[in-house]
Amino acid sequence: MPLTSHPQSSLRDLPLDGLRGLCAALVFYAHAFAPSAALDPRWAPPPQFWWLNLGYAAVMMFFVLSGYVIGLTTSGPATAGNVRLYLGRRALRLLPVNTAAVLLAWALLPANPPGTVLANLGFLQNSEAYPGGVIFGLLPNNTNLWSLNYEVVYYLAFLAWWRWAPRAGWVWSGLALLALAAPAGLPVTAQISHYACGGLYWFAGLAIARHTAPMANGTARRGNWPAAFLGLYALWTLAPFRHLTLSFEWYPLLGLTPASIHRLDFLLGCVWCLLAVSGRAPSLQRRFALLTLGWSTAGLCITWAIEPFTATDGLAAAALTAAWLLVRWNPDGSPLARLAPLGAVSFGIYAFALPIQFAQQKFFPEFSGSPVTFIIRLVGLGLLTVGLAWAVERKLTPWLRRYFLRPSADRRPVGDRPA
């Protein structure tokens, strides 16, 4: 049977917004604290800060959240009017931020080729060839935008799912086969296989929204989200399947992005995390908790057996131990809800931080070389990024949404409207 939707509360889920904000903060952190003088050209943070690098992991969680939100907000039959409304909402979600991010990157680095700028404005950017061998490059000072190309593909693919409502098993099987096609040597480009692999994350979020009932009204406790966060860190760091891939030299399974087979086991933790934060399907939460922690434990054993044990592995082992100890604790979501304001501008933070970070190096090259200059640069980067994100996401985008999504008669000049 096709998936069916559940009624959605009109209230925002603040802990879920907090999770989105946390993901944006992790991407911001990954770029600012990279041990390569990425923010301050003459001083880099100690490598211990890099132990918490979860930038790519946050992007994969974003894919799951994206599918989940579409599953919650899009219902009813795929009529022409509903499809137009859906496309209009998606365009107004992506276009203002993406356009501002691309133009900002171009303004701060005019050497960006005009063709690359145009491709990024049209969401065509990628790092691998489309069918026919065509590649549209990433902006070197805003490589984050690679994921928006994937988002547009998933938004458009959703229209086919919405129209024909295939069984979930067929969708899972089709995506899995496409994800494996290029590594298996079939005549499918690596880009298509990576779309399919990321699509498994996106469709998982959609399936959670459609298959599971929302948390009952008045329920204070959610799921064991602290343990889920710890388990996510352990799973990403220990990376059982990635270690097996490298150990057995299955190099075709590797890819340039985390949307490839070598990182597919991370989906277990993402599903657990979303279920725990949203408070949905407690019995399913427990199953994914055991799958995530069990596979992470296997990853710890694999790492111990085939590689020198590093300090990062030790931190992951500590996180895994804490996750096992806390797995039955189900606190409320109030700590996450406090991050909701950050979640409200998370897209802008994700899209604007990197070009501003590179611009600081360009415009203030002499103000560098110490922890103090690094901290001042970090605070400046944060304020500029959040300020620009707030202006575009909380001011410009709502105004565009009110203008373009209201009936056409209301958009006419006042003098042309009927009395």
Q: What is the pLDDT of residues 196-224, one digit of tens each?
A: 999 999 999 999 999 998 887 656 578 89
Q: Does residue 283 lie in a domain region?
A: yes
- What tokens does 47 get? 């490598």
Distance (Å, rounded) from C-alpha 400 to C-alpha 388? 16
For residue 11, what pLDDT is reported? Answer: 53
Distance CA 65, CA 40 (A): 32
Which residues lie below 8 Å from residue 98, measured CB to CB, with a gap of 6+?
Answer: 120, 121, 123, 145, 148, 351
Residue 281 lies in a domain: yes
Q: Quote the CA–CA distance of 62 and 376 in Å, as a whole number.
A: 29
Bridge partners of 43, per DSSP, are: 40
Distance CA 17, CA 318 (A): 28
Answer whether residue 297 is part of any domain: yes
116 conformational bin, left if phi > 0, alpha if psi -120 to 50, beta if neither: alpha
Asked, for residue 33, whether it belongs to a domain, the answer is no
> What does the pLDDT read at residue 408?
46
pLDDT for residue 173 is more than 60: yes
pLDDT at 256: 83
Residue 221's pLDDT is 73
pTM here is: 0.93
- Over residues 333-342, the pLDDT tens digits come to 999 999 999 9
**Residue 321 included in any domain:** yes
Q: Quick check: is 367 in a domain? A: no
pLDDT in the model for residue 414: 33
Instruction: Output 287 or 408, whichever has higher pLDDT.
Output: 287
Residue 352 to residue 104: CA distance in whole angstroms: 8
| Residue 410 vs residue 57, higher pLDDT | 57
**For the CA atoms of 41, 47, 48, 49, what is the dihedral angle to 10 degrees?**
30
Residue 201 CA to residue 178 CA, distance in Å, equals: 14
Whether 147 is in a domain gets the answer no
Distance CA 74, CA 199 (A): 18
In tens, the pLDDT along 73-89 reads: 998 899 999 999 999 99
Domain that holds residue 311: 221-331
Backbone angles phi, psi at 248, to 5 degrees: -95, 5
Return the closest-CA partner of residue 233 out of 20, 25, 26: 26
Task: Pick the closest to residue 142 from 94, 95, 104 (CA basis).
Answer: 104
Q: What is the dihedral of CA 372, 375, 378, 384, to 10 degrees?
A: -80
Write phi, then psi, for 332 (nearest 5 degrees).
-80, 175
Distance CA 230, CA 178 (A): 31
Q: How far apart are CA 171 and CA 269, in angstroms?
A: 21
Q: Is residue 44 part of a domain?
A: no
**Model confidence over 293-334: pLDDT tens digits?**
999 999 999 999 888 889 999 999 999 999 999 999 989 899
Tell me what the pLDDT averaged over the chain comes to: 91
Structural domains counted in the chain? 1
